[in-house]
């Protein structure tokens, strides 16, 4: 691989746990509880002792020290880690545990697993210690299987190599001048790239301190006193609406937004209130973070900047031909480089769609690139992938959950522009019997994660369709107040 491994030997993930960066009793603070790196290493090694040799370790990923301990334990032992959203309903949970082949589900001591959980529980006690040592697993071995939504069907497991994560963290450390001097603050979920791979492993690789605020509220961010802050646009727009809290981030070094487009007015408000023009970066579960503005470069509102070290991008038109980099012509963004995933678990069909014949990954995002190389994400090629609060939601999965209800004849789900969430899930449902919108929302909530619940259900006698019977989602969006 043409990747500069650097002086530290390159592709190790948990370098800060091997010492050399100093330590503190509160090197990691998660929702009010603290751990030193030495504590974490001892506790995680105790987990590694119990899971070594397992095919995969699922982790009930609440934002807790137990979650971080379990994840690090799996990584130390070289066992692929499968974070499970803690609020996922039975259908989602069974799919993730069954598809990933996880033999064990790590959870906090004292926490009971939902009835019918199809794998053995592994209670994690961050007070345990082991002094065993493990050889660094192969760089090309699987670090994580991260489940992420497609346009239809159940979430797909993206297989992510350890070296992909190390390469991305290395590139982001360079782009953001992220060092052991930083204190990283965020309150994002610990089952996605943003909160877990960047937000936890980033700290464990660079040696920065970590403060996880539990929830990413403006007050919690203001009180954390960090130097480097991560958030999804919803977090930043809520902070920008709270001038007092925002002003307290003036002492920070860098504010970073990602996972969804940061609206230009939020960028500008944040810059005015904090004195820091935010960094915006772009990525995906499958590719990790591939494009970013830089700490030492221009931070242009509405732009995600330049490819990070090692990553290459290209724009391809509908005819399959390259489009000009003129800042105006749109094309599908394709990426390649050392941060890319290996493929979807058990889904050769999805792999065939995702990769080009010459080995580039099709992001499904539509972008423009300027003559200066700056990238602007214009939207998604498919209306069926929704981003709400930074969460990726497949319309098809929510539609399937709604259709499981005995009083639903058919359903169509769209993402309607929303000031707070970017997009809000709205479901159009043809009822077959007496049923209310609230009942249907509750029904979805029993099956899928909280953020996949419709914010609004509209009961309709029929859905607009084209001559082939396909639902006209653009028409529904227009009716719902979207584009
Ligand atoms: C939510 N609620 C609902 C509801 N949806 N109630 C009724 N109907 C619905 N449809 C409830 C919630 O449970 C919560 O209740 C309350 O309403 C407020 O919900 P909310 O508006 O969603 O706010 P909040 O819970 O604060 O969530 C906002 C957020 C969250 C920004 C904190 O969306 C979030 O954490 N997003 C991060 C997603 C993320 O990390 N994505 C990264 C993907 S990786 P209660 O009782 O709990 O208050 C990636 C790669 C990359 O994209 O580039 O980074
Ligand atoms: P996920 O797999 O949850 O990481 O979602 C990836 C998707 O989030 C991408 O395909 C984009 O559509 C979107 N995304 C991430 N970062 C940005 C950004 N800075 N601007 C616009 N969209 C983004």
> Per the domain annotation, does 145 fall within a domain?
yes
> Per the domain annotation, does 205 fall within a domain?
no
Atom of ligand 1 nearest to the CA of 232: 37
pLDDT at 61: 98
Same domain, 17 and 55: yes
CA dist 374 and 274 (Å) reads 24
Answer yes or no: is pLDDT of 8 > 80. Answer: no
pLDDT at 217: 98
Angle at 178 between CA 173 and CA 180, to 5 degrees: 120
Residue 320 vs residue 264, higher pLDDT: 264
CA dist 192 and 189 (Å) reads 7
pTM: predicted TM-score of the whole model, two decimal places? 0.96
- CA 260 – ligand 2 centroid, Å: 5
Phi/psi at 201 (nearest 5 deg)? Answer: -65, -30
> Per the domain annotation, does 338 fall within a domain?
yes
> Per the domain annotation, does 116 fall within a domain?
yes
Q: Which two tokens stand for residue 425?
A: 């899930």
| 6 pLDDT tier (thresholds 50, 70, 90) | very low
- CA 419 – ligand 1 centroid, Å: 14
Same domain, 368 and 410: no
| 483 pLDDT tier (thresholds 50, 70, 90) | low
Q: What is the CATH number of the domain that holds 68?
A: 3.40.50.12780
Residue with tokens 């040592």: 133
Answer yes or no: is pLDDT of 212 > 80. Answer: yes
What is the mean predicted confidence (pLDDT) over 113-138? Answer: 94
pLDDT at 2: 33
Of the ligands numbered here, which is closest to the C-alpha atom of 278?
2
- CA 391 – ligand 2 centroid, Å: 9
Please indicate whether residue 156, judged by its CB atom, sits closer than 6 Å to ligand 2. Answer: no
Mutation test residue for ligand 1: of 165, 304, 389, 445, the one with most atoms within 8 Å of CB: 389
- CA 325 – ligand 2 centroid, Å: 21
User: What residues are paired with 312 via a beta bridge?
Assistant: 336
Question: Where does a domain end: 325, 347, 380?
Answer: 380
| 83 pLDDT tier (thresholds 50, 70, 90) | very high
| 4 pLDDT tier (thresholds 50, 70, 90) | very low
The total domain count for the chain is: 3
Atom of ligand 1 nearest to the CA of 216: 32
> Per the domain annotation, does 264 fall within a domain?
yes
pLDDT digits (tens, 9 = 90+) for 261-304: 999 999 999 999 999 999 999 999 999 999 999 999 999 999 99
Same domain, 469 and 420: yes
Residues 6+ away with beta carbon under 8 Å from 321: none
User: What residues are paired with 423 via a beta bridge?
Assistant: 417
pLDDT digits (tens, 9 = 90+) for 434-453: 999 999 999 999 999 999 99
Same domain, 374 and 401: no
Same domain, 164 and 271: no
pLDDT at 11: 81
Nearest-CA residue for ligand 1 atom 13 is: 450
Same domain, 369 and 414: no
pLDDT at 287: 98
Answer yes or no: is pLDDT of 35 > 60. Answer: yes
pLDDT digits (tens, 9 = 90+) for 164-204: 999 999 999 999 999 999 999 999 999 999 999 999 999 99
pLDDT at 5: 42
> Per the domain annotation, does 395 fall within a domain?
yes
User: What residues are paired with 83 via a beta bridge?
Assistant: 59
CA dist 150 and 165 (Å) reads 22
pLDDT digits (tens, 9 = 90+) for 404-432: 999 999 999 999 999 999 999 999 999 99
pLDDT digits (tens, 9 = 90+) for 244-269: 999 999 999 999 999 999 999 999 99
Same domain, 368 and 399: no
Residue 457 vs residue 117, higher pLDDT: 457
Same domain, 456 and 373: no
- CA 4 – ligand 1 centroid, Å: 38
Which residue range(s) make up the domain with 429?
A: 389-479
- CA 282 – ligand 2 centroid, Å: 6
Q: Which two tokens stand for residue 218?
A: 């403006």
Atom of ligand 2 nearest to the CA of 291: 19
Nearest-CA residue for ligand 1 atom 51 is: 259
| 122 pLDDT tier (thresholds 50, 70, 90) | very high
Angle at 183 between CA 178 and CA 185, to 5 degrees: 100
Q: What is the CATH number of the domain that holds 449?
A: 3.30.300.30
- CA 17 – ligand 2 centroid, Å: 30
Same domain, 361 and 448: no
Question: Where does a domain end: 325, 346, 380?
Answer: 380
- Ligand 1-lining residues (CB < 6 angstroms): 188-189, 192-195, 216, 232, 234-235, 258-259, 283-285, 389-391, 441, 450-451, 453-455
194 touches 232 (CB < 8 A): yes
Same domain, 27 and 90: yes
| 482 pLDDT tier (thresholds 50, 70, 90) | low
> Per the domain annotation, does 2 fall within a domain?
no
Question: Where does a domain end: 342, 360, 380?
Answer: 380
Answer yes or no: is pLDDT of 215 > 60. Answer: yes
Same domain, 167 and 253: no
Same domain, 109 and 67: yes
CA dist 287 and 290 (Å) reads 7
> Per the domain annotation, does 113 fall within a domain?
yes
CA dist 145 and 166 (Å) reads 16
pLDDT digits (tens, 9 = 90+) for 376-385: 999 999 999 9
């Amino acid at each position: 691989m043409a990747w500069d491994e650097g002086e530290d030997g390159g592709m190790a993930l948990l370098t800060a746990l091997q010492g050399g960066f100093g330590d503190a009793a509160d090197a990691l603070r998660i929702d009010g509880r603290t751990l030193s790196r030495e504590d974490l290493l001892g506790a995680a090694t105790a987990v590694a002792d119990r899971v070594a040799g397992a095919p995969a370790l699922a982790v009930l990923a609440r934002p807790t020290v137990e979650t971080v301990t379990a994840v690090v334990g799996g990584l130390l032992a070289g066992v692929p880690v499968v974070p499970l959203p803690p609020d996922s309903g039975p259908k989602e949970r069974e799919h993730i545990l069954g598809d990933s082949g996880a033999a064990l589900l790590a959870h906090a001591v004292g926490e009971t697993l939902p009835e019918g959980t199809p794998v053995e529980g592994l209670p994690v006690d961050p007070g345990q210690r082991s002094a065993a040592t493990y050889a660094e697993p192969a760089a090309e071995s699987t670090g994580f299987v991260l489940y992420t939504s497609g346009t239809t069907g159940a979430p797909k497991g993206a297989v992510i190599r350890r070296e992909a994560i190390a390469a991305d963290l290395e590139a982001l450390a360079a782009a953001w001048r992220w060092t052991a001097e930083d204190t990283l603050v965020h309150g994002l979920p610990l089952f996605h790239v943003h909160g877990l791979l960047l937000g936890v492993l980033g700290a464990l690789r660079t040696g920065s301190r970590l403060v996880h605020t539990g929830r990413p509220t403006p007050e919690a961010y203001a009180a954390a006193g960090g130097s480097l802050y991560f958030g999804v646009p919803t977090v930043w727009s809520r902070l920008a609406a709270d001038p007092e809290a925002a002003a307290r981030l003036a002492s920070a070094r860098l504010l970073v937004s990602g996972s969804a487009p940061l609206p230009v007015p939020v960028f500008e408000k944040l810059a005015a209130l904090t004195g820091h023009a935010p960094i915006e970066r772009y990525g995906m579960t499958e590719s990790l973070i591939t494009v970013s503005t830089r700490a030492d470069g221009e931070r242009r509102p509405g732009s995600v900047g330049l490819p990070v070290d090692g990553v290459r991008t290209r724009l391809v038109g509908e005819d399959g031909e390259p489009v000009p980099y003129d800042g105006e012509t749109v094309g599908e963004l394709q990426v390649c480089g050392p941060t890319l995933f290996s493929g979807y678990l058990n889904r050769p069909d999805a792999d065939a769609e995702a990769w080009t014949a010459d080995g580039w990954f099709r992001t499904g995002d539509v972008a423009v690139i300027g003559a200066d190389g700056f990238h602007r994400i214009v939207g998604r090629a498919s209306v069926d992938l929704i981003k709400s609060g930074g969460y990726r939601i497949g319309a098809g999965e929510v539609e399937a959950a709604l259709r499981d209800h005995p009083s639903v004849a058919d359903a169509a789900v769209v993402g309607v522009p929303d000031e707070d969430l970017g997009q809000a899930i709205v479901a159009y449902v043809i009822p077959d019997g007496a049923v209310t919108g609230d009942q249907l929302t509750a029904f979805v909530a029993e099956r899928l994660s909280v953020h996949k619940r419709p914010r609004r259900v509209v009961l309709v006698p029929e859905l607009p369709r084209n001559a082939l019977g396909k639902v006209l989602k653009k028409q529904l969006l227009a009716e719902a107040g979207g584009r």
